[in-house]
Chains A and B, each alone.
Chain A
């Protein structure tokens, strides 16, 4: 067993897990953060996305031991009982999600992207979400939600583009 101490959504947590345990498994099964989803367990789907020191990571591909001392953010850290995080609010307003299984991962990838503080284009957004699979929505309303959240949080505008212009 390995003893691991890390910060999850601002709270210090410790767990004692077998060394082969992934960060995802530890979060879900030992620390009871079940927001990050187990989709494929091999890094294909992005349902398990969490932020490790601000960077979006597939928690199924990271060993729990590698997260020692790190600062983890999960979907549970975003909203409070009183209000949604602006990304969640934007996703709700435009009905970004359908079944919602991809949602926690999509939202955490979005947070990592917006937190970088860079100017974003629609292509940057599509790029940043390309590791998060969604079977339901065709991504269209998710991208709309990300744009709305970005504009709300940063006060900047995503430039209009016309992909049909040859």
Chain B
């Protein structure tokens, strides 16, 4: 017989480690046609980070994302980056890019100020224009200002900056410090079905509520969360590296290392819980790794809800679940475990 169960998993996750140097740097060049070139050391691995970083530069410069040409991941030409790791790219590289873009923009402000008869701090960059705050009709196209800066004033509008999350060392007495710049939070709920004759678990539905600061690109955030959930489902139910006595992996292939296919994926509802983090670029934090964290916990709680057994080693394969169900029926150890409620 099949039993339905629901479970919840929650997590927090640190973004921007501060225990070690964790810098990113960027250079932003505003071209004479009003487009911009962004140099960043970070590497795109499909998560869409270059899109997000281009959006951050565009927002800071008041141009369209399409206007920003992103050059990345080439150590010959771009600044070194700590890496596309630790869910840090949007936060750390994003902060560096925002600062670099602001430095380049400052040159435009200083060049445009006398042209518009105001002080540089009275200007803003919006809609491909440098305009006087509150007086948007007094404006100049960014392309014109960039041209003026380059060819008349001799001040090419280029900005470079780096960002390293502020470091707070650990107090050797108390062990306290500030190991990370900021944190994200998430809850995922799983609805599953357990077959008590085979022990097989099917995930029917997952809902995922994730805080990532400002969602700079919500579609990409969804993609990260859905991908993370598939990894979480694999972690919960299928994926296991097996080693022999010599420490050699005995399933180094996709025939025996089982990962989720399209058939294993449930319906997923994603809820992006936005909030503004004052330390992040335009309030953003990060989303990558956290997406895979609460899934297995939610699924194991749902298994308990469905058939009353606690699976404490992953993956919760059919064999393990069936064994636990049998033990429970035979009045074995499982029964002695306190119920979660």
Chain A interface (Cβ within 8 Å of chain B)?
39-40, 42, 44-45, 94-95, 97-100, 125-127, 129-143, 163-164, 166
20 contacts between A and B (CB under 8 A): A42-B253, A42-B255, A98-B46, A131-B261, A132-B261, A135-B227, A136-B47, A137-B227, A138-B227, A138-B230, A138-B231, A138-B260, A139-B226, A139-B230, A140-B265, A140-B268, A143-B265, A163-B205, A163-B266, A164-B205
- CB of B54, distance to nearest CB on chain A (Å): 15
- CB of A45, distance to nearest CB on chain B (Å): 6
Is A98 in contact with B205, judged by CB distance below 8 angstroms?
A: no
A139-B265 contact given A44-B255, A95-B223, CB 8 Å threshold: yes
Is A138 in contact with B229, judged by CB distance below 8 angstroms?
A: yes
Mark B205-233 against chain A: 1 for CB-CB distance below 8 A, else 0: 10000000000000110110011111100
What B residues does A139 contact at CB under 8 A? 226, 230, 260-262, 265
- CB of B176, distance to nearest CB on chain A (Å): 38
What B residues does A129 contact at CB under 8 A? 261-262
B263 interface contact, C-beta 8 A? yes
Is B226 in contact with A137, judged by CB distance below 8 angstroms?
A: yes
- CB of B215, distance to nearest CB on chain A (Å): 14
Query: What residue in chain B is nearest A93 (Cβ atoms)?
Result: B219
Is B261 in contact with A137, judged by CB distance below 8 angstroms?
A: no
A95-B220 contact given A44-B255, A129-B262, A132-B262, CB 8 Å threshold: yes
A98-B263 contact given A40-B253, A140-B268, A163-B204, CB 8 Å threshold: no
Is A138 in contact with B253, judged by CB distance below 8 angstroms?
A: no
Query: How many angstroms from the CA of A125 to the CA of B220 in the assembled complex?
Result: 23
Is B267 in contact with A137, judged by CB distance below 8 angstroms?
A: no
Query: How many angstroms from the CA of A129 to the CA of B261 in the assembled complex?
Result: 8
Is B205 in contact with A133, judged by CB distance below 8 angstroms?
A: no
Is A137 in contact with B259, judged by CB distance below 8 angstroms?
A: no
- CB of A16, distance to nearest CB on chain B (Å): 31
Is A133 in contact with B254, judged by CB distance below 8 angstroms?
A: yes
The 8 closest A-B pairs by CB, nearest first: A99-B46, A138-B230, A98-B46, A44-B254, A138-B226, A140-B226, A129-B262, A139-B262
Interface magnitude class on chain B? 20 to 34
B45 interface contact, C-beta 8 A? yes
Query: What residue in chain B is nearest A101 (Cβ atoms)?
Result: B46
A100-B46 contact given A95-B219, A140-B265, CB 8 Å threshold: yes
Is A45 in contact with B262, judged by CB distance below 8 angstroms?
A: no
Is B261 in contact with A130, judged by CB distance below 8 angstroms?
A: yes
Query: How many angstroms from the CA of A127 to the CA of B255 in the assembled complex?
Result: 18
What A residues does B266 contact at CB under 8 A? 163
What B residues does A134 contact at CB under 8 A? 230, 262
Query: What residue in chain B is nearest A99 (Cβ atoms)?
Result: B46
B191 interface contact, C-beta 8 A? yes
B155 interface contact, C-beta 8 A? no
Is A141 in contact with B267, judged by CB distance below 8 angstroms?
A: no
Query: How many angstroms from the CA of A67 to the CA of B268 in the assembled complex?
Result: 40
Query: How many angstroms from the CA of A140 to the CA of B261 in the assembled complex?
Result: 11
Is A127 in contact with B263, judged by CB distance below 8 angstroms?
A: yes
Is B45 in contact with A130, judged by CB distance below 8 angstroms?
A: no
Q: Which of B45, B223, B254 contacts A137 (CB 8 A)?
A: B223
What A residues does B228 contact at CB under 8 A? 138
Mark B41-85 against chain A: 1 for CB-CB distance below 8 A, else 0: 000011110000000000000000000000000000000000000
Residues of chain B in range 121-162 having any CB-CB distance to chain A below 8 Å: none
What A residues does B253 contact at CB under 8 A? 40, 42, 44
What A residues does B204 contact at CB under 8 A? 163-164
What A residues does B219 contact at CB under 8 A? 94-95
Residues of chain B in range 83-128 having any CB-CB distance to chain A below 8 Å: none
Query: What residue in chain A is nearest B45 (Cβ atoms)?
Result: A99
Residues of chain B in range 8-48 having any CB-CB distance to chain A below 8 Å: 45-48
What A residues does B222 contact at CB under 8 A? 141
B4 interface contact, C-beta 8 A? yes
Query: How many angstroms from the CA of A99 to the CA of B25 in the assembled complex?
Result: 24
